[in-house]
Amino acid sequence: MTNGIYTIKGAGLGLVKPKLFRPGKGIESNNENTYIVGNVEVDNSSRVSLFGTPVYSNLEIKPFNYESLEGEQISISNGIIIDTVIFNVTQTKNIVKTPISGRNGTVKEYVSDGDFQIEISGAIVSPGQTYPETEVNELIEILKAPIAIPSDSLISEYLNWFGIHSIVVESYDFPQTEGTRNQQEFRISAISDIPIELEDDEF
């Protein structure tokens, strides 16, 4: 790609649509009104999408086992890697607010941080025109597990930044998309889970 100078004043920015740039290239400001396309620093990524673009925030769930109430060992044997995924992490705090007659405002007592609320939306995509049946079934089996997804099975850089290593799935939905066969969209609502390990004189 060659470098060029563009005047963007009055270019109808409201109508401008996002454009894909190749890694290693970007746009930078030259002066008030013009921009040049030049080299910019980009994150390295170990994975690429079907388009060849880098995948920075993926979700990987490695195989794990659990025991059913009947004592049967159930195994999630393959795990899943989903490249097309977006997270939304919400943190709430447990604060008790108490109004008192005769006193303005409320007395606030901070009890603890609440769980992280995690919304994961994404799509499982197969390269051809066939439905990604195997991957979808694997994800359904993972989501059905009546345990927290263990910390050594859940791999997500984005979630790790918040200190989330294990999650409990609360609900999920799999809508069908009109006109596509090779992809299955999904949305997962989950909350964070922190195992408690006591030690002698832990405090």
Q: Which residues here bind another protein, judged by CB under 8 A? A: 94-96, 98, 100-103, 107-112, 195-203
Residue 49, Cβ neighbours under 10 Å: how many?
13
R_g of the chain computed on alpha carbons: 23
- State whether residue 46 is helix, strand or coil: coil
Cβ 53 to another protein shortest distance, Å: 41
Closer by beta carbon to another protein, 5 or else 111: 111
Cβ 161 to another protein shortest distance, Å: 24
Number of residues that make up the chain:
203
Residue type, 15: L
Closer by beta carbon to another protein, 2 or else 112: 112
Q: Which two tokens stand for residue 174?
A: 């799999």
Cβ 174 to another protein shortest distance, Å: 29
- State whether residue 114 is helix, strand or coil: strand
Closer by beta carbon to another protein, 71 or else 127: 71
Cβ 193 to another protein shortest distance, Å: 9
Beta bridge partners of 113: 93
Closer by beta carbon to another protein, 153 or else 166: 166
Instruction: List, edge to edge, every strand of the sheet that includes 80-82.
Output: 80-82, 59-61, 154-155
